[in-house]
Amino acid sequence: MSRVYEVMFIVRPDVAEEDADKLIAGFSDTVTKGGGVVKTVEKMGRRKLAYMVRKFNDGNYVLLTIEANGAVVLELERRLRVTEPVIKFITVRIDEEEKRLAKVKALRGVRRSSMPAVAAPVAAPVAAAVPVVAAEAAEAGEAVQASV
């Protein structure tokens, strides 16, 4: 059964751009040879890490969105783990999240189409402000006459 995953990995900052492209191509080949599909490849560039990882303070982030079965994902994770230039990676299943978001969007569309137009709010009468002034004056010990 095919599921959708996001695989983000961080490549060491001292790796050349061409070598990083070869790594990405190798990981993409692993997915396609296993019967999966690489939907998107997003190179997010060099960013600072939240904490030091393998004596590096920054790294080149890459995000792969793939559609594959569990065996292909396990093989991809194994290759990420043993590849020396990759210093960190994470795999997240996102197909359930996409279903949930689609359901929420559908519910929002139903609510918006069934709701009547809201009338403009009516301004409050000016006489309503007089008791507030009287209450403030009573606290201050002054006498106020209400002319209503």
Say which residues have a Cβ less than 8 Å from residue 76's Cβ, sequence separation at least 6: 7, 27, 30, 31, 34, 66, 68, 91
Domain membership flag for residue 44: yes
Q: How many CB atoms lie within 10 A of CB 54?
A: 11
Residue 76: CATH number of its domain: 3.30.70.60
Number of domains comprising the chain = 1
Q: Which helix (H) or strand (E) holds 68?
A: strand 56-68
Q: Which domain holds residue 64?
A: 3-87
Domain membership flag for residue 142: no
Least confident of 19-33, 111-125, 126-140: 126-140
The answer, yes or no, to whether residue 117 has pLDDT greater than 90, is: no
For range 84-104, the mean pLDDT = 91
The answer, yes or no, to whether residue 127 has pLDDT greater than 70, is: no
Between residues 76 and 2, the one the model is more confident about: 76
Domain membership flag for residue 75: yes
Residue 52 gets which letter from DSSP? E
